[in-house]
Amino acid sequence: MQDFFRIQEGQEESAYQVAYASCKRRVTDLHYESRIQAHIDYNAKFLLRRVNKEEARRMTLTREQYIQAIPSWCATHPDCWEYIVDTWLDGDWQKKHEEAHDRRLQMPGVPHHQGSRSLSKYAKAYSDAHGGQPVGQLKAYALAHMGKATADIEYDPDAPVEAYTNSSVHTRLSSYTEAARSVHGPGYDPRTEERLDPQLVMRVGQGKKHGRFWIGDGVLDTASTPPLHLAPSIEHELKRAHTPTGQMLQAQVQELQAEREVERQRLQALEAQREQDQR
């Protein structure tokens, strides 16, 4: 990647997080979009008819038809294409595909208003359109489910469910905010939080559903967040948060986090020095 791009100094970790999340999403999308494109290509080439994406999503071809619709990027590896096709025709895969389709139909509103932007780019666009006001990750997530970045909208943690175009977002934001206030105190203001707490998101969301974080999947560091079974339950943490022991533990956690940050910076410096020596 660095043959074409240069990472701004101090932004290395953020850049790698974005690249990791983007690559994971692109690979998943490739598998999904290839099936739809195979439907479109087969109909155009062999049936001489044009179908749009909406029609193509509901189609299914036979194995032989899928093989004939092999895309150019996989033409030199027909065995790989056959493996992909066999995955689509597997009964378990088709069952999950239908269940996912049914869930999408039950979605109460549009998923978000980011368009093709990442959450970080949406936050910047909103900030640019609203006098340069700072926009943290949680605030950006909420706003992206309220309207476009240029719209006259403002995030209010106590806003009713009607403020969001998808009612499930209100539940997620309320649950996260309530948990954060229980841990950090009643004075916690989600509007001023610069970054989401991935461990808190993991606990409140009860793990990663379908491989994704409950809130802000694209901006959270998946590599440094322990799986749910390795983290104490949120209920256990909340019960102890405001006891003297809990406050002491919070201080210890903050101290450990500070030490980990120092260690991370040291390792980054060593890595940078190693790359410099290799040059």
Q: Look up residue 23 and give its two tokens.
A: 């690559």
| Domain chopping of the chain, boundaries | 12-106, 119-230, 243-278
How would you write the pLDDT of the chain (279 residues) with one tens digit per residue? Answer: 455 667 778 777 777 777 777 777 778 778 889 999 999 999 999 999 999 988 998 899 999 999 999 999 999 999 999 999 999 999 998 998 888 777 776 666 667 788 778 888 899 999 999 999 899 988 998 999 899 999 999 998 888 888 888 878 888 888 888 888 888 888 888 888 888 888 788 777 777 766 677 777 777 765 556 555 555 554 455 454 444 444 544 555 565 566 667 667 777 777 777 777 766
For residues 229 and 87, give the distance between their C-alpha atoms in angstroms, rounded to a whole number.
30
- Quick one: pLDDT at residue 62? 96
219 burial via Cβ count (<10 Å: 0-12, 13-18, 19+): buried
Centroid of chain to Cα 266: 28
For residue 158, the model assigns a pLDDT of: 86
